[in-house]
Amino acid sequence: MSVEGSANFHPSIWGDHFLQYTRDFQETGDRSVKHLELKKEIRRMLKAVNKTSHTLELIDAIQRLGVSYHFESEIDEILGKMHKTYRDCDLCDNENDELYYISLQFRLFRQNGYRISADVFNTFKGSDGKFKASLAKDVRGMLSLYEATHLRVHGENILDEALAFTTSHLESVAKQVCSPLVEQVKHALVQPIHKGLERLEARHYIPIYQGESSHNEALLTFAKLGFNGLQKLHQKELGDISRWWKELDFAHKLPFVRDRIAEVYFWAVGVHFEPQYSFTRKLFTKVIYMTSIIDDIYDVYGKIEELDLFTSAIERWDINAIDQLPEYMKLCIRALINVYSEVEKDLVSQGKLYRLHYAKEAMKNQVKHYFFEAKWCHQNYVPTVDEYMTVALISSGHPNLSTISFVGLGDIVTKESFEWLFSNPRSIRASCAVGRLMNDMVSHKFEQSRGHVASSVECYINQYGATEEEAYSEFRKQVSNAWKDINEECLRPTVVPVPLLMRILNLTRAADVIYKYKDGYTYSEELKDFIVSLLINPVPI
């Protein structure tokens, strides 16, 4: 095992900054009179628009500004009717805009679960079977097509081709003199809409939308007021959670763990940002933080004999069964059990206590798989890729965090929902694969330097005699295929209600953002600007 305290994680970059948010919170923004008036006006606008192209643009703006949760039923009704009478012609008056609008409609249908054939894009191919070179002049249309390709599923070769075609040309555009459109291209090449966190992308899009001459002033103001009002709620929650963390004093009592409370809460906001999910965000943050501490105990500090006892103690889930453990493990288990005990009171009052059983079982399962990895590390054993992934998909945390995200949802969640989740369905397997492989690709060098278990990268290199870059290439393909699985699972009819699948999709998006270039959780400077924009700085009104 690695030497005690060998990880050398940097301290929190925030200090006690977020403790100030426990004071002077007032529910404004979302509840303001002006906000409610604007909401009614936008609802009227949605009903009044009768031109398909204008309707598509309005819905796209509403969704990209992060306020679609106010109009879910209206948007679904409009797209449902549009889908039933779907025609890919007569979308716009100018044929030069066809690529933009056909791609936009395709993306909106797919984003909202409606099936639509990718054959609509055949019209943009020439007699040689390739996309027409002349399309490259239409940057707005190319960007729209690029965004649409990220909703592709298996077997859609035309969208694979479209992604390669648009990416190549847009990369050339990105090198041109800056303009608002070029800036959008640069951002999209880094963070496509479909793979971005909705709240983060809304913060990025608000000033872009404001700069468009055709923007709707009522919608823009509504989005700004809503963003700032919801930010105040998020700040209050983060302040409460920071106080909880401060009272635990783990930064001093367990100095070998990562002190990342703001980063964990950012993760929680990425999975469920809407105001009605306050309970879920707080629970999710505490559970993922306890999971992070446990991960660091297995990876960094624990001796194998201690970890055996620690694993058994969590399996028993009994505060009276920890006498044999060292003090630092006792501290962790007490805090862990307390988190779930606090939730128990709320779930009893809601008549949903059964959910706690699934939450505990998911945590136990993750811990058990952490111990598998610890034993491999202790034995200097390098598993095969398949052997590694069987364990590492669970230790990625996605099954555990998906379970926690279900616990705090409303009556739409049933026992059958949890049974489905525990059956290891396709969407969970795919989400785990994205999270695990992206994490491994950006963190394995640091992990190996501190004696961590072999990652998927080392396993692949060892099994196939491959180079590091060959391993990366293979895993990028697997991540791409996993996204296709998730996209397919989100198309109607879905096996479980869409809001449940959205939690899994959002967890996957969080992995894409946090592990895109570096382990943004461990190296929290990577997420600093995101956290400032979401949780500190309001949008200028």
DSSP letters spanning 261-306: HHHHHHHHHHH--SGGGHHHHHHHHHHHHHHHHHHHIIIII--HHH
The span from the CA of 507 to the CA of 41, in Å, is 33
Residues 33-222, CATH architecture? Alpha/alpha barrel (1.50)
Find, among 344, 326, 250, the residue nearest to 292 by Cα.
Answer: 250
Please give the single-letter amino acid code of residue 38. Answer: L
The span from the CA of 459 to the CA of 453, in Å, is 10
pLDDT value of residue 74: 98
Burial 478-498 (b: 16+ CB within 10 A, else e): bbeebbbbbbbbbbeeeebee
List, for residues 133-161, the tens digit of each pLDDT value: 999 999 999 999 999 999 999 999 999 99
For residue 95, what pLDDT band results from cuts at 50, 70 and 90? confident
The span from the CA of 99 to the CA of 108, in Å, is 14
pLDDT value of residue 87: 73
Calculate what percentage of the chain has a pLDDT beyond 70: 96
Q: Which helix (H) or strand (E) holds 470?
A: helix 468-489
Sign of CA dihedral 512, 515, 521, 525: negative
CA 472 to chain centre: 21
The span from the CA of 240 to the CA of 244, in Å, is 6
First to last CA, the chain: 54
CA 526 to chain centre: 16
List the chain domain ranges: 33-222, 249-535
Sign of CA dihedral 175, 176, 179, 180: negative
List, for residues 435-457, the tens digit of each pLDDT value: 999 999 999 987 776 667 799 99
Dig out the tokens for 347 from the structure: 């779930």
Would you say 148 and 106 are in contact if contact means Cβ atoms under 8 Å apart?
A: yes
Find, among 358, 340, 486, 371, the residue nearest to 422 by Cα.
Answer: 358
Q: Note the residue count of the chain.
A: 541
Q: Give 181: exposed, middle or buried? Use CB within 10 Å, 0-12, 13-18, 19+.
A: middle
The span from the CA of 539 to the CA of 210, in Å, is 12
Would you say 160 and 152 are in contact if contact means Cβ atoms under 8 Å apart?
A: yes
The span from the CA of 495 to the CA of 381, in Å, is 39
pLDDT value of residue 430: 99
> Hunting for tokens 């606090």 — which residue is that?
342
The span from the CA of 191 to the CA of 197, in Å, is 9
Residue 418 reports pLDDT greater than 60: yes
CA 511 to chain centre: 6
The span from the CA of 436 to the CA of 280, in Å, is 24
List, for residues 389-402, the tens digit of each pLDDT value: 999 999 999 999 99
For residue 29, what pLDDT band results from cuts at 50, 70 and 90? very low
Cβ neighbour number for residue 511 with a 10 Å cutoff: 26
Find, among 401, 386, 390, 414, the residue nearest to 509 by Cα.
Answer: 401
The span from the CA of 77 to the CA of 89, in Å, is 21
Residue 28 reports pLDDT greater than 80: no
Mean pLDDT, residues 150-179: 97
Residue 317 reports pLDDT greater than 50: yes
List, for residues 190-233, the tens digit of each pLDDT value: 999 999 999 999 999 999 999 999 999 999 999 999 999 999 99
Would you say 376 and 342 are in contact if contact means Cβ atoms under 8 Å apart?
A: no
Residues 403, 250, 236, 536: what is their CA dihedral angle, to the nearest 10 degrees?
Answer: -100
Cβ contacts of residue 254 below 8 Å, gap of 6+? 293, 296, 328, 331, 332
Mean pLDDT, residues 298-309: 95
Cβ neighbour number for residue 28 with a 10 Å cutoff: 13
Find, among 24, 20, 12, the residue nearest to 535 by Cα.
Answer: 20
Residue 3 reports pLDDT greater than 50: no
Find, among 425, 386, 371, the residue nearest to 403 by Cα.
Answer: 425
Q: State the fold for domain 249-535.
A: Farnesyl Diphosphate Synthase (1.10.600)
